[in-house]
Structure 1
Amino acid sequence: MSASGLTHPHTAAPSLPRAWLTPLELVALGAIWGASFLFMRIAAPAFGPLPLVELRVGLGALVLMPFLWKARASFGPGLWPKLALLGVLNSAVPFALFAWAAQRAPAGIGAITNSMSVLFTALVAFLFYGERIGVRRAVALFTGFAGVVVLASGKTGGEGVAWAAAAGTTAAFLYGIGVNMVKRHLAGLPASAVAAATLSCSALMMLPFAIATWPTQPIGARPWLAAASLGVVCTGLAFAVYYRLIQRIGPARAVTVTYSVPLFGVAWAWLLLDEPLTPSMLIAGTLILGSVALGQQPVARKAS
């Protein structure tokens, strides 16, 4: 999961008959993004990380391309280098890290570390843009890192998950950089069009690496279905729903979907892949989700 960080004018409060749509879409989005780690766990061993990422970003870009076409007049030539860099930081490299991790550890590991992206967004804003982080968010960051340490120290089926946890945490940090870039350099552009543009850039940049590492052995129907679901549903359609939520309820409320992604990620892997739910995953998930919730609380501002 990657939040765009784009802001939009607040729309009027939804009427009562439509009020149920927001919680329903938030839950559905959490379930979809949680399933992305399940699909990576199925597809990554067959495709390898780079070909899988190429399929994911390419299919996602195709789904969102109508938004980019509609807003094409807003995307001048000078904007595309920023979009390409954002594609590297917000799609290509994080997706590759999560796919690499999915080859080595249960799907729940990636889903849990993904939650750190919200905290890393605040950390990057503090380190590079001079924003206040506040005591509460500082405590939240330390708590979240403690959760990652617990997760990395766990053992699942005799296999260490430290490298997978490190890869997922690095991906979450890159998401934090990407969100801050969008906020400061691409504000005012339609969010779904920006997503289509960055995914398209990612697909073009990843294509040579995907071709060079494309598997030589035949790939079964199950990995193909998982890869297609990852690109079309978990990337393209999910981004469209997420950006519609941002427009309707604002980014601060939309980002609360982060809380449910690891819960669904672990649940899907347990139900459909028989992956165990270990004590270290429970403790780490509690620490990280608690830290994200704490970090989401507004920072008190001193009166000037």
Structure 2
Amino acid sequence: MTRNRDILLTALAPAAWGATYIVSTELLPGAPTLTVAALRALPAGLILLALTRALPGRDWIGRVFVLGALNFAIFFACLFAAAYRLPGGVAATLGAVQPLIVLLLAWLWINAPLTWAAASAALMGLIGVGMLILGPGAAFDWIGIAAALVGAVSMAAGTVLTRRWQPPVPPLTFTAWQLTAGGILLVPMALIVDPRLPVMDTRGVLGLLWLGTAGGALAYWAFFRGISRLGPSAVAALGFLSPLSAVLLGWVILGQALTPLQMLGAALVLGSVWAGQRANRPQPTGSRNAALNRARV
């Protein structure tokens, strides 16, 4: 596949995650969030394990559980804590610092280039998300703010380490390992915080099916596959599509109005995604060598 096709396929992940808010509020209202998170991760991981028929070796179990904690357990716990204590716009805007953190961690941990173009694109996306969903009546809670920032750091670290720790298995198998590990870690957290089960009527079953398949197994397969092919910085830049997708789905499905400021924010988000992909595009070997020679001079 070409790079453009890889970008489009990877972009399906944050686009699908943008539907999580509508699915949760419309199909699973009042459901215990960590329990839903565990039901979203563990069954999908076990199904993928049954399909791939491959378990991690002893030397990979520790790293898989670290990734499961960063990408799922810690991230989901902080995400829901922030959602409870902060307005959605504030929580999403704080979470949008993740691409900037990914750029820094990728530079520190895997020697990825840190350029002004990539940082500027991430900053533009952050501003666009703020314009898109941050309302004038936003309230602040320091515990909620800390949870949102810890969640962003956790997912950013998981994104970079997913690239650094690439096992010799297909992306679908690696996705199965991480989803299962994350689900195993989420189960005791859910039992401690709120052990209730969501209402399992038709709407609840449909909501869990969406979260576990399109919003879970398929989305995370596209996400982890994209990290291996495009790199963590390019994939993180696509994360701005998640709040954009949420706002657009709210407009299309729920009839929520879009203000001129939100439209401008949407344009900035799309511009940042385009600029982020250009900034994180791999340079030809000749260009890299020329840049290294100029740096030596």
TM over 0.5: yes
Change (3 A) 1:46 1:87: same
Q: Tell me the equivalent position of 2:77.
A: 96
Instruction: Give 1:142 shift.
Output: 3.5
Q: Tell me the equivalent position of 2:175.
A: 195
1:179 equivalent in alignment to 2:159: yes
Could you tell me how far apart the structure 1 residues matched to 2:65 and 2:73 are? Answer: 10
Q: Which runs of 5+ in 1 are unaligned?
A: 1-10, 14-18
TM-score between the two structures when normalised by the length of structure 1: 0.70
Could you tell me how far apart the structure 2 residues matched to 1:216 and 1:203 are? Answer: 15
Mapping of residues 102-251 of structure 1, within 5 Å: 105=87, 117-147=98-128, 154-155=135-136, 160=139, 170-212=150-192, 213-215=194-196, 221-240=202-221, 250-251=229-230
Q: Tell me the equivalent position of 1:3.
A: none
CA deviation vs aligned residue, 1:25-53 (integer Å, no higher than 9, x gap) = 56765643332332234467522221111
Question: Counterpart amino acid of 1:180?
Answer: V
Could you tell me how far apart the structure 1 residues matched to 2:260 and 2:47 are? Answer: 39
1:293 equivalent in alignment to 2:274: yes
CA deviation vs aligned residue, 1:158-217 (integer Å, no higher than 9, x gap) = 564888787556534322211211222234332221111111111111112212312389
Change (3 A) 1:298 1:159: closer
Could you tell me how far apart the structure 2 residues matched to 1:116 and 1:269 are? Answer: 23
Q: Tell me the equivalent position of 2:18.
A: 34
Q: Which runs of 5+ in 2 are unaligned?
A: none
Q: Secondary structure at the match of 2:278?
A: coil
Could you tell me whether the CA contact under 8 Å between 2:96 and 2:129 is conserved in 1? Answer: no
1:77 equivalent in alignment to 2:58: yes
Could you tell me how far apart the structure 1 residues matched to 2:160 and 2:120 are? Answer: 21
Change (3 A) 1:274 1:99: farther
Q: Tell me the equivalent position of 1:270.
A: 251
Aligned length: 280
Could you tell me whether the CA contact under 8 Å between 1:116 and 1:292 is conserved in 2? Answer: no
Q: Secondary structure at the match of 1:59?
A: helix
Change (3 A) 1:277 1:127: farther
Could you tell me how far apart the structure 1 residues matched to 2:200 and 2:87 are? Answer: 21
Q: Secondary structure at the match of 1:57?
A: helix
Change (3 A) 1:278 1:59: farther
Identity percentage of aligned residues: 26
CA deviation vs aligned residue, 1:102-147 (integer Å, no higher than 9, x gap) = 55645x8777776654443222112444543112123234434444
Could you tell me whether the CA contact under 8 Å between 1:116 and 1:288 is conserved in 2? Answer: no
Change (3 A) 1:86 1:231: same
Could you tell me how far apart the structure 1 residues matched to 2:159 and 2:263 are? Answer: 28
Q: Secondary structure at the match of 1:296?
A: helix
1:87 equivalent in alignment to 2:71: no
Pick the aligned partner of 1:65 from 35, 41, 49. 49
Question: Counterpart amino acid of 2:166?
Answer: L
Could you tell me how far apart the structure 2 residues matched to 1:60 and 1:206 are? Answer: 13
Could you tell me whether the CA contact under 8 Å between 2:91 and 2:145 is conserved in 1? Answer: yes
Could you tell me how far apart the structure 2 residues matched to 1:86 and 1:268 are? Answer: 30
